[in-house]
Amino acid sequence: MRLKLQRILEQELGAEVLVAEDGEQAWEMFQAAEDIQFVISDWVMPRCDGVELCGRIRGVEDRPYTYFIIATARSEDTDFVEGMASGADDYITKPVNSAELLARVRAGLRMVVLERSLALRNRELERALIAASQMQQGMLPSALLLERVLEKTGLRVSYRYEACESLGGDVLGLAEPEEGMLALFLGDVSGHGIPASLAAVGLHTFLQANLTVTHDPVQLMQLADHYCSEEFPSGVYSTLVYLRLHTRERVVDAVVAGHPPLFHVKRDGNVARYHASVPPLGLFPHKEESFEVTRLKLEPEDRLIAYTDGVVETRNQQGQFYSEDHLARIVAAERGTSLEDLHERIMADVANWRGPGQPIEDDVTLLSLQLEG
């Protein structure tokens, strides 16, 4: 029977066929060969039967997909179910009919080609996602830039960024549009995955480019709103907080669009909150007068803290949100720590709220500014 099957497959399909006397020998051949596309196995065999052989092959994860047919004289429905439950792709009864065998093998080979084509595309997509993730990371303000800002302005800037997937939808940028001026923005594009990430990259690039044209809060937000309305896919929008710091006067102009409140943490630990004055960008056109600019005066050791809703909308096992109030208590209690330690404390507290072993559900970004004494 083995020789007959070998001759049919070699003559009719031009296949290279390896022949084993039992399941154990077949398993050894499978391990030694670089690529086995197809296995036709008897069910009842000494040392290792067909069901066990199929289970072993399915347990190998670092090999291309192998199509598996079990051949047996059994014909009961329960036998069919058991064979397919082991991971077999097809089932053929003995004595084997040559025409039926060839038809099943040809159909299986089409599946093998499709599986391997998809695997190749998935690997290419994975490489592309890695490259895109690296590009997103490269858009974040560098440590060198933050150090230069501190030296020039006395303003310490720190952030923490964690995406819930390989690509994130949060937007964070810093620019020095002119001497004596510092601009920062933190945004959150709705949704997850590739669509949100592509929209976030586009918005980041748009904001960074337009900060060379205007740093006026109202004009910039209007431009950003128009961009989101025109360029984002239907139903996608972005929240955004924009901060313009006059470095000599230590004055901050802030606009919050659909974003969680901006925290102003005073030296004495009091926390003032500045809520959004307009809905998120890209939902519908905003008029110029609708953008409310809040002017803040920073005193030595004052802090400004902005964050995306991935922080405050983290749920615990009872479905309760972490909440702005919870975050406000943490930033007040940690008033004397460094910004980096504050971020560590917040992230640890959010993880504890989420519960052990629970992954983050949304992108998380923290942005903190402190005027040095």
pLDDT digits (tens, 9 = 90+) for 326-345: 999 999 999 889 999 999 99
Q: Do residues 156 and 244 both lie within one domain?
A: yes
H or E stretch covering 298:
none
Answer yes or no: is 236 within a domain.
Answer: yes
Alpha carbon dihedral 34, 39, 42, 44, in 10-degree steps, equals 50
Q: Do residues 196 and 280 both lie within one domain?
A: yes
H or E stretch covering 161:
strand 155-162
CATH number of residue 42's parent domain? 3.40.50.2300
Which domain-ending residue is among 109, 130, 151?
130
CATH number of residue 317's parent domain? 3.60.40.10
Q: Burial of 292 by CB count in 10 Å (0-12 exposed, 13-18 middle, 19+ buried)?
A: middle
What does the pLDDT look like over 166-184, one tens digit per residue? 677 899 999 999 888 999 9
* pLDDT recorded at residue 17: 87
* Amino acid (1-letter code) at residue 64: P
Please say whether the beta carbons of 185 and 259 come within 8 A: no
Q: Do residues 160 and 281 both lie within one domain?
A: yes
Place of tokens 């047919």: 69
Task: Determine the Cα–Cα distance for residues 163 and 191; give it in Å rounded to an integer.
Answer: 12
Q: Do residues 261 and 360 both lie within one domain?
A: yes
* pLDDT recorded at residue 110: 86
Please say whether the beta carbons of 169 and 136 come within 8 A: no
pTM for the full model? 0.70
Q: Do residues 91 and 205 both lie within one domain?
A: no
User: Span 144-162, mean pLDDT?
Assistant: 93
On average, the pLDDT of the chain sits at 88
Token output for 169: 């939808």
Which domain-ending residue is among 130, 153, 170?
130
What does the pLDDT look like over 116-143, one tens digit per residue? 888 788 888 777 767 777 777 888 899 9
Answer yes or no: is 135 within a domain.
Answer: no
Q: Using the Cα atoms of residue 97, residue 102, residue 107 and residue 108 in order, give the sign of their dihedral.
A: positive
Task: Determine the Cα–Cα distance for residues 168 and 163; give it in Å rounded to an integer.
Answer: 5
The strand pairing partners of 38, in sequence order, are 67
Q: Where are the beta strands (DSSP E) in 220-363?
A: 238-246, 251-257, 262-265, 271-274, 294-297, 303-307
Q: Do residues 169 and 99 both lie within one domain?
A: no
Look up the domain containing 354 and give its range: 140-371
What does the pLDDT look like over 257-313, one tens digit per residue? 999 999 999 988 899 999 998 899 998 877 767 788 999 999 999 999 999 999 999
Q: Do residues 126 and 149 both lie within one domain?
A: no
Answer yes or no: is 223 within a domain.
Answer: yes
pLDDT band at 79 (very low <50, low <70, confident <90, very high): low
Q: Do residues 222 and 295 both lie within one domain?
A: yes
Question: Which of 3-17, 41-55, 117-131, 212-226 has the highest average model confidence (pLDDT)?
Answer: 212-226
Q: Do residues 361 and 247 both lie within one domain?
A: yes
